[in-house]
Amino acid sequence: MNLRFILVRPRNPLNIGAAARAMANFGFNDLAVVKPFAPVWRETTSAPGAEKLVQDARVFSSIDHAIADCHLVVGTTALRNRRPERPVVSLPRLMDYLKQEAPSPFLSKENETFQAAILFGPEKTGLSGPYLERCHFWITIPTDPACPSMNMGQSVALCAYEWARTLERLAPRALTGPGPLATAGDVQRLVSQTMDLFEAADYLPFLPRDAQEKKIRRLFQRWQIRKQDIQLLHGLFRFMMQGLTGEKPRGR
């Protein structure tokens, strides 16, 4: 598994440096930053041994671009009275959950590397709804209820340790399913096409567009769609759209 650590809208360069050093401690080197506070984000002085990791970090303008090639997306949250809309996994239970519920984190029959990402939110607020909605499941770190929120660098360190331990113990194996999983980018394009189809059919008109998007994305995430299925669904939805708009569907 390739695991990308994504820091969302970080502001404190010390936290970025601490996160990078923690990643390096446990053998991870794929760091991405979404909408960082531009004036200071690279001014880090707390990443001894991980300076190159910070220099090579990729900057993205949106979360969808940062996770477009990912097959599995995980969010970190302290919940804070948030209603769970995804499976919530305590960090010490990560290995058990991946074994039982998540897609295989290894190479497919086509030798395509499985790409995963773990998201960490801004220092003051944590991940907000639009970011957590992109995730297949959420991770929480057991803390004292009187002080549930953790520093970003500390959260990265604990998660990097647990992921490294988990990946070391999970036995590599080839996928036996019908081809590689669709990426988050594949799913997002399918979500957009489905929403256009809903609009043309006047389906669920009482739901706001953002609520429709949440429902559709969650459904596709549960299905664990394969890449070969994406093209079939695109073709089916185009066929249905042509019927709704009065055009003669191709292939008739």
Domain limits, the chain: 2-169, 184-244
Order of all β-strands in the sheet with 72-76: 58-60, 30-34, 2-8, 115-120, 72-76, 137-140, 88-90
CB 100 within 8 A of CB 168: no
For 245, residues 6+ apart whose C-beta sits below 8 A from its C-beta are 200
What is the 3-state composition of the chain as percent helix, strand, coil, each rounded to the nearest 5? 40, 15, 45
User: Higher pLDDT residue, 43 or 136?
Assistant: 136
Give the Cα separation of 215 and 168 in Å (integer).
Answer: 35
pLDDT recorded at residue 252: 36
pLDDT over threshold 80, residue 103: no
Of 23-27, 59-63, 169-173, 206-210, where does mean pLDDT reach its minimum? Answer: 169-173
pLDDT band at 46 (very low <50, low <70, confident <90, very high): low
User: Higher pLDDT residue, 53 or 139?
Assistant: 139
Percentage of the chain exceeding pLDDT 70: 85
pLDDT recorded at residue 174: 43
> Nearest 5 degrees, angle CA 127-CA 1-CA 177?
105
| pLDDT, tens digit, 9 for 90 and up, residues 200-248 | 888 888 888 888 888 898 888 888 888 888 888 888 888 888 877 766 5
Give the Cα separation of 54 and 30 in Å (integer).
Answer: 10
pLDDT band at 124 (very low <50, low <70, confident <90, very high): confident
| pLDDT, tens digit, 9 for 90 and up, residues 59-83 | 999 999 999 999 999 999 988 777 7
pTM for the whole structure: 0.80
* Tokens representing residue 60 in the block: 């993205």
pLDDT recorded at residue 111: 42
| CATH superfamily assigned to domain 2-169 | SPOUT methyltransferase, trefoil knot domain (3.40.1280.10)
